[in-house]
Structure 1
């Protein structure tokens, strides 16, 4: 395949460093999170069974959360898996990719959880309080890490499914057609990763959202109560909005991530 057939075709002489992936991940998270924030608000309101409003609060907290979450998650994932997205890996390494994705989700969630709380409170509150007031109340009540465990549980599943399946699918796609434009391999792999992460993580995402604003004894108790009193189908409440968000979110995030790495590669190699 000629270098002109794809705009994502970096020279093999430079392998991105962890900081490169962190910067690219932060950029990808901000752009993807900002583009899909209205759908995220709809998802939260469906999960909270709140009424429809033509407002999309929480954008500032969402963007800051995405920057920290994506930088920590992607940076740690690449530290565990070797750094270069283009490098091939053996069949037995697939399990490592999924495990690394789950561990990376823990890192990103712990770093960004207070901002996630602020976003959910902003969306859920009809009075639309200021971020300063929300932070002050959470800090005073020592609730900056409220519902951290369910958030970590959800993120482990989500990140393992998204990052792991993205890498594995991309390897499979490129193995089936080595001449395929790299951009198409990224698009197809990101689309499949979005489906996998939505199906697997939605019940835990519903529990995480409910636990932030309601009193349950834990994730299992929350899931049990939802299934018992509202119906099993409500465990996937907001799944359509989640998919409508995670599909474009994953596509945009992976494309921006890869394009940012491409730009960094070119700058590094041209400076040598």
Structure 2
């Protein structure tokens, strides 16, 4: 059994900002690996000579800014994605909780997967825009910015083009959830201790391990999805996709026929390398942002450490703590005022 835990010392807006800032920073830092991964999945000429040569070819053809193409679309997607994901996840979890507020591990993972699909539906056009911006040459662009990408795709290819390949997000959620479930069910065996005693470092390792296994299992679905997002008769070389196809099933067939089964995992090296710095930065930035918020709320004595403020009830929510502070302040002011009157 597992409990759904959150830090009640943060307001909802503070939690939202912490997650958004951490995601924005970690995505920006690891953007070069994401660019190489997506180009490898689509099959553009940049990826034909292997992982390390891809960096050199991108730099020679597009310069340093080529490694941050599509990053704005990816970052903009974070905020609505997290908001929808969190709201949906809480509703699903609430439906499956028992009377004590507990939920089984597999139900929690299922809830996370379903919430991810709903959030992806709400933000999918931004993912399509990200893919189109990454596969183009930024020195000879077809699209100029996120808004231009969305409007041009809608105008030239229709609304459905902004959701091309979405069904693969739903299909890919199944092996992804299975991978997470398989990892989390065996964490106690891995560490030889119960999950409630895991340190922050162990939780970071657990997250990286679960993401690595889950993404590897669902990777073929993402590869085909990226190819479907990229392919367009209105783009040079059909978007740079290495095979031509008429639909999802045909894409699987053409990829295996021309490039072999293992090509469905093209870009996995960049994706795997990205996991550790991404989750490391995500975790670190979130904790730093959280410390600032906890300090501002009055729970800790410094934004640089988690040392608790003496005399503060950590079980109180931010609003409750603010009410207590206001009450004490008024009481102290009143007592000081009465003593002053007594002196006079």
Q: Aligning the two structures, in what range does the TM-score lie when normalised by the shorter sequence? A: 0.7 to 0.9
Distance 1:26 1:243, change over 3 A: same
2:57 is the alignment partner of 1:43: no
In the alignment, what sits opposite 1:238? 267
2:33 is the alignment partner of 1:33: no
Match of 2:114 among 93, 103, 108: 103
Report the Cα distance in structure 2 between the residues aligned to 1:236 and 1:203, rounded to whole angstroms: 6
- Higher relative CO (Cα under 8 Å, sequence separation at least 6) belongs to 1
Distance 1:155 1:193, change over 3 A: same
TM-score (normalizing by structure 2): 0.62
2:149 is the alignment partner of 1:134: yes
Matched pairs, number: 255
2:160 is the alignment partner of 1:146: no
Q: Which moved more, 1:162-171 or 1:146-155?
A: 162-171
Give the drift of 1:193.
1.6
Match of 2:134 among 123, 133, 143: 123
Q: What do residues 197-242 of structure 1 show as CA deviations (whole Å, max 9, x unaligned)? A: 2211211110111111236444333223212221011111111111
Give the drift of 1:37.
0.8
Distance 1:26 1:98, change over 3 A: same
- Checking the alignment, whether the CA contact within 8 Å between 2:208 and 2:275 is kept in structure 1 is no
Give the drift of 1:121.
0.6
Report the Cα distance in structure 2 between the residues aligned to 1:98 and 1:178, rounded to whole angstroms: 15
Report the Cα distance in structure 1 between the residues aligned to 2:162 and 2:250, rounded to whole angstroms: 22
Report the Cα distance in structure 1 between the residues aligned to 2:288 and 2:29, rounded to whole angstroms: 17
2:84 is the alignment partner of 1:72: yes
Q: What do residues 129-155 of structure 1 show as CA deviations (whole Å, max 9, x unaligned)? A: 302432221121222222222234335
What's the Cα RMSD here?
3.6
Give the drift of 1:74.
4.2
Q: Which moved more, 1:137-146 or 1:245-254?
A: 245-254
Report the Cα distance in structure 2 between the residues aligned to 1:19 and 1:162, rounded to whole angstroms: 31
**Secondary structure at the counterpart of residue 58 of structure 2:** coil
Q: What do residues 20-73 of structure 1 show as CA deviations (whole Å, max 9, x unaligned)? A: 554433223212211211100000111122213112211211211233333433
Distance 1:262 1:222, change over 3 A: farther
Distance 1:14 1:125, change over 3 A: closer
In the alignment, what sits opposite 2:50? none
